[in-house]
Amino acid sequence: MNRNAVFHRSTCDMCYAADNDTVVIRLLTGKDIDKAFIICADPFLNELTRKKSWYGKPFPMTLQMELEERFVWTFRTSPKFKRLQYYFKVVSENKEYYLFDNKLCPVDEAENRSRQYYKYPWLNPSDVISPPQWVRETVWYQIMPDRFCRSAESETLPQIRAWGKGSLLPFNNFFGGNLKGITERLPYLRDLGIGGIYLTPIFSSNSYHRYNTFDYKLIDPMLGTEDDMRKLVKTAHSLGIRIMLDGVFNHCGTEFMPWQDVCKNGRSSPYYDWFFINDDNFIKPRFDTADGRFYTFSFWSGMPKLNTNNPEVIEYFTGICSYWVREWDIDGIRFDVGDEISHTFLRELRRSLKPIKPDLFLLGEIWFDSINWLTGTEYDSVMNYPLSSCINDFAGNSSLSGRDFMYALNKCLLMYPEQVSQVLFNFLDTHDTMRVTEECQGNTDLLIQRLAMLMTLSGTPCIYYGTEIALRGKNPKDNRSCMPWSSIEKGEYDEVLNKIKELIAVRNNNPQLSDIGVEFIHHDEPRLLHYIRTDTRTDKRLGVYINAGSKPFAVPKEGRVIFSNLFSGDTLDINGTVIYEI
């Protein structure tokens, strides 16, 4: 038996409360394990029964998922007194082993050794990780306001370029998209099937992307006014669409008033400790900060890093966010560079905002395993870059098989408690990445395959504006192009747009797709991806076929087809996709 592969810790990814009654426990083992059991009971059972020592009852564990070199076993229970003590028994080639918190040993040797048990001490309702339930059912749409839509009423300003004309790259190339323009296009988004809009920053700045914020209290006049924002949110809500703003709290722009005061007054500024300044001679014309004179986002001197450990900074931004929620009724905040903001800042902000709007969605931009931020006291969710890599790697690398995809996906699902996995922010592309259509080299059949995976896996999917019409673009040169509304209205994108509407409708009409269970079925063709999604509440099932192989595949008649692409009769062509009800 591979002893090193048998592993458990009583941490929130391996032992957690799924709700106010249910505890879920996971165990990792090697693939040489035939059976796994958990021996568990109330930690004080022996006192109740007057036994000399504690004892538990064995229960079989379920083989939940398979990784490349490991099995993942699970056990769900509802302990009557809200607490649990436990250890494990695993069986390999008819030999039995116990796993305690302090050792792994053969069963026949356990009597002569000390035992330390694992423990779930107490199921406190306030400690249960409870992301907003509405997020599970939401299909998001990311908008960069300057490039999405310019209202017909917009004033023509000298710095605004003709829509879609000229270079996209310089930071001060504005095309004039605004809040009124977004409001005008809400019916388009509702028809597409969108339930939530994620807006990149809208506050005053000298850049079109506005990630170098000058004033967190002032909507950039080029985008509109507070009344325009209120109207956008109110109209969106009337159509069943939520609004999430982008909060840039890791760093600011150089015209941010506290930074300007520090530049003027140095150490005597009351805002000096709002930043990380390491050299009194920090004001230099040098563009980068590789000399360490002060800390910034990356090495860009135009984005000084905020000290989010400072109580004054925390209080300031708590007030800012509270205003956004109270005055505009926004539904979520996405935290830019969310892994560099202090945990203290995030905990205090959450404690302040949730009483104002309990179902406010707090989303962190983190590109890696984020369990340290997802314990229920900070973010509700993070941007799911691991899943994006999982989908794009499989689709773009012909050497990867369906099993490889399964291993990668299961690793993603294993990262967090199930209720967190159900609200992870899934996507294929953003303003920070190459557009997925570019990765597909303009092939819309391949784009549809990737979107089919995005729409049929757990988590809350997001479409980057223009992906629904197969816009192309590499990062950072041209992935932020203007929406070609004239061409859209002429029907030039109808073929791909209608297919993607169908996919979004499949997602919206089948709530089991927000559940976490995935059953993979493997075929002789290694590049044929086939999986089943099941609603654990209703047992309703959907099957998905993705033909990423080199030859057509005969699809068995298993149920009613609800979406297909490159599918005729029962034959799924190369690059084809089928979703069916079982």
- List active site positions: 336, 365
Identity at 551, one-letter amino acid code: K
CA angle, 536 then 541 then 546, to 5°: 125
For residue 299, the one-letter residue type is F
Element (H, E) at 235: helix 226-238
DSSP SS3 for 51: coil
Question: Per residue, what are the HEC states of 276-290?
Answer: CECCCCCCCCCCECC
Query: In 3-state terms, what secondary structure has residue 146?
Result: helix
The whole-angstrom separation of Cα 153 and Cα 164 is 18
Contact 203, 245 (CB under 8 A): no
- Given 3-state DSSP classes, what are the helix, strand and coil percentages for the chain, each rounded to the nearest 5? 30, 25, 45
Neighbours of 280 (CB within 10 A): 9
**Residue spans of alpha helices (H) in 103-210:** 145-148, 179-184, 186-192
Sorted by sequence, the CB contacts under 8 Å of residue 6 that are 6+ apart come out as: 27, 28, 29, 30, 33, 90, 97, 99, 104
CA torsion, ordered 156, 235, 383, 373, to nearest 10 deg? 120
Residue count of the chain? 582
Q: List phi, psi (to 5°) of 251.
A: -150, 170
Answer for the pair 483, 465: CB distance below 8 angstroms, yes or no. yes
- Secondary structure of residue 325 in the 3-state scheme: helix
The dihedrals phi and psi of 139, each to the nearest 5 degrees, come to -105, 120
**Radius of gyration of the CA atoms of the chain, in A:** 26
Give which of 497, 495, 492, 467 is closest to 480, Cα–Cα: 467
Q: Is residue 178 a contact partner of residue 210, using CB atoms and an 8 Å limit?
A: no
d(CA 163, CA 281): 43
Q: How far apart are CA 34 and CA 94, in angstroms?
A: 8
Indicate the residue type of 332: G
What's the number of CA atoms in the CB half-sphere (13 Å) around residue 143? 27
